[in-house]
Amino acid sequence: MHFNISIPRITGLIFFVLSLSFSQAQAQTGTVKGQVTHEQDRSPLSDINIALEGTHYGTATGSDGTYTLDEIPAGDYSVVASGVGYVRSSETITIEAGESVVLNFSMTVSTQELSEVTVTGQGGYNTSISSSSLKIRGSLLETPQNIQVITGDLIRDQQIFNMVEGIARNVSGVHREEHWDNMYARIYMRGSKIPAFRNGMNVEMPWGPLAEDMSMVERIEFVKGPAGFMMANGEPAGFYNVVTDKPTGQTRASASLTTGSFNTLRATADFDGKLTSDNTLLYRLNVMGQQKDSHRKFDYTNRYAVAPVLQYNFDSHTSLTAEYTYQSSEFHQPGGYVASLDGYGTLPRDFTVSDPKIGPSEIKDHSLFLTLEHRLSEQWSLTAKMAYFDYSAIGQYVYPGGEIDEQGNLARTVSVWDGHSENKLGQVFVNGNIKTGAARHEILGGLDLSDKQYIAVFATTGQIPDLNIYEPEYNISADTIPEYNPAKSLNNRAGWRDNLSHRAIYIQDEIHLFDDNLRLTLAGRFTDSRSDETEEQVFTPRAGLSVNLDDNTSVYALYDQAYLPQGGQNFEGESFDPVTGHNIEAGLKRQWFGSRWNSTVSAYRITKENVLTTDPDHPDFSVQLGQIQTQGVEVDVRGRLARGLNLVVNYAFTDSKVTEDTNEEVEGEPTPGAIRHLNNAWLSYHVPGGALEGVGLSLGYMWKIGRTSWFSEQNSLPDYFKLDGGISWENDRFNLSLNVNNLLDEYLYSGFPSGEKYIWISEPPRNFRLSVGYKF
């Protein structure tokens, strides 16, 4: 008898059996969970010690201020919350077998200088609230929106360096298209490219910003759907929000060193503390330096980042936070495209169309955030933000856009890109609570402003000698490489100009009824957007409903419209129309076994106008489609199945098609870049005690079925399966991690057809990263 069992099916079966065997709760025990917040602004407090007095049970709060103590024998306990710089607090509780007790703490700043202590605790992959930068209050369980959070613990376990690496695997339906990987992250979700946010502000720009380095990142939030509560920045498919590290008020420091394949050498350091004994002035400083070659010949990336943060607490009600980030990157090629007439993946993975004599490219990315938070009363708070971005990029690159003859000779040209972007962003909003009869109202209202300018030169500077793709010869004469020595300023030379601004106001009322078991959201926003060529005013409404079925389960429904001005031009220099669209969605959320892990199931339909996608004839540029309709089902499960065992698993079915276009031939075709079935998992186990305490094992996979590229006979790409794993050890001070990516050494790539050519970007073969870290 013959059994046709594939590696992905075997791997999936292993994950299922492991997860099932560890997910049984102990009937004789209970759980204590909750959140610790600052009394002043209700912001979450991390690394607060939570202990059951007189026992060995204890933990520390995560970056979102939440904690969970599970498998606690039934009985009466005194729960103590303590942290450096905060007044100790305690509460008495009774734990019943099989039950979960919710106990929240609101802590005040201590007026006395406390001795320094070391706070340790095991984090996880699950969180119950969003960051304050998303503006909404309350738990994710009760929010009528699908929001998935990638925690810092998960990022560290997977040894992810920046946004262009494996971040997408941790959220259903999210994937990255390999493009100019050395420049920015091209993230897709629900059939479309989604914009980048940082600390709640839309920082999207043409070919930017430079992908955030994970050394300065606390968490990453993926918000699915238009998300009107972000005021003017609703995108029909959603967005991702990078939340950077802030001061915690505790004195601590850590450092790490990483080496690995491709001559990787990376160092990071994180310093967190206070400059005054009364916690008036706090600081945080992250620094990073990295040198890394590539699996492609001659390619490399050298990156550096510095991110200082200062927070001044005027009093218990008001604080001002100033955050500066500098990132720089030097690399050989912005993207490693190759081409052949013989099909995808027919050239060696280390093949390149470039040459070592081509000079480096460089990006410098400066950003400044200022955040003022003020508590007006117990029910109302005011937040004001402003951000400034200055981004410059210059370099040369070789793209395989020329013809290939029968002997395999590829005609090559050298192009230059020289660009500068300046973004000014601002937000002012209030959050409040009022009661009218039996209803409680959570109010959000505010003003959103942005002014984005981008100028650039994109030009072919000349030809270089042909390259035979079958028998390549490199090291061409330097005299054959066209020089780029501009005599005039960029402003006088730029052929690409974007000037995009908007002003918007937003008001939302989340009405809580029936003891907060039903929540009705009614909202609207008015946007005034302007560019060099257009001016539009648009009103977009939002309505949502969330209902608790029990303490751990909720269902939600959502209707939201989107309007998003978009910068950029196509190859002919024409500006793009704003994105418009709407989303209809419903879902089920549940917390399991004392909130140790949670699940979300959602179904949606998005109709979107004026979608951008890569121009197959000029991949440096985009083209605008007419209308696409995307519908699908998404499943996310994440959290701690048992003590030491953490899991992230997700699945998405996405049906995305072009429904209207000026080219009738493409109507009904799959949207370029869409993936019909996308399944990911990551399982990590850390031995919680005994002789092997601190030892960790992890295994994860990415599985893509039904990949599409561009409208042509070669539209489909082969299925994709990647297996990764790791082993680690840690104690209170040291941690050691070894991760191996692409364990099966598969030839993985993404690409698209262009005329008779097949163009693709390959991913690295089997490779490793070895990191050692120390906590001071």
Q: What is the pLDDT of residues 550-603, one digit of tens each?
A: 989 999 999 998 877 766 667 776 777 777 888 999 999 999 987 889 999 999
In this structure, what DSSP letter does residue 155 have? Answer: H
User: What is the identity of the amino acid at 766?
Assistant: R
Parallel/antiparallel/unpaired status of strands 29-38 and 100-102: parallel
pLDDT of amino acid 464 = 93
Fold of 252-775: Maltoporin; Chain A (2.40.170)
Strand (E) or helix (H) holding 38: strand 29-38
Q: What are phi and psi of 5, to 5 degrees?
A: -115, 120
pLDDT of amino acid 621 = 66
CB burial of 449-485 (b: ≥16 within 10 Å; e: otherwise) equals: bbebbbbbbbeeeeebebbebeebeeebeeeebeebe
Residues in CB range of 101: below 8 A, 6 or more apart? 30, 31, 32, 33, 93, 94, 95
**Terminal-residue alpha carbon distance, the chain:** 60
* Alpha-carbon span 473 to 492, nearest angstrom: 38
* Alpha-carbon span 165 to 215, nearest angstrom: 14
Q: Dihedral sign, CA of 153, 159, 162, 165?
A: negative
What does the block give as tokens for 611?
């979608």
User: What is the identity of the amino acid at 114?
Assistant: L
Residues in CB range of 70: below 8 A, 6 or more apart? 29, 31, 593, 594, 596, 640, 643
What does the block give as tokens for 334?
């912005």
The segments of the chain whose pLDDT lies below 50 read 1-5, 17-18, 21-27, 111-122
Q: Dihedral sign, CA of 180, 183, 187, 192?
A: negative
* Alpha-carbon span 149 to 129, nearest angstrom: 9
Half-sphere exposure (Cβ direction) of 402: Cα atoms closer than 13 Å = 22
* Alpha-carbon span 74 to 52, nearest angstrom: 12
CB 444 within 8 A of CB 507: yes
Say what the alpha-carbon torsion angle 600, 605, 608, 614 is, to the nearest 10 degrees. 60
pLDDT of amino acid 3 = 41
Which class is domain 29-107? mainly beta
CB 523 within 8 A of CB 144: no
Q: Report cis status (omega within 30 of 0) of the bond before 195.
A: no
Q: Residues spanned by CATH 2.60.40.1120 within the chain?
A: 29-107
What does the block give as tokens for 606?
């998005």
Q: Residues spanned by CATH 2.40.170.20 within the chain?
A: 252-775
pLDDT of amino acid 483 = 83
pLDDT of amino acid 158 = 96
* Alpha-carbon span 370 to 349, nearest angstrom: 45
pLDDT of amino acid 27 = 46
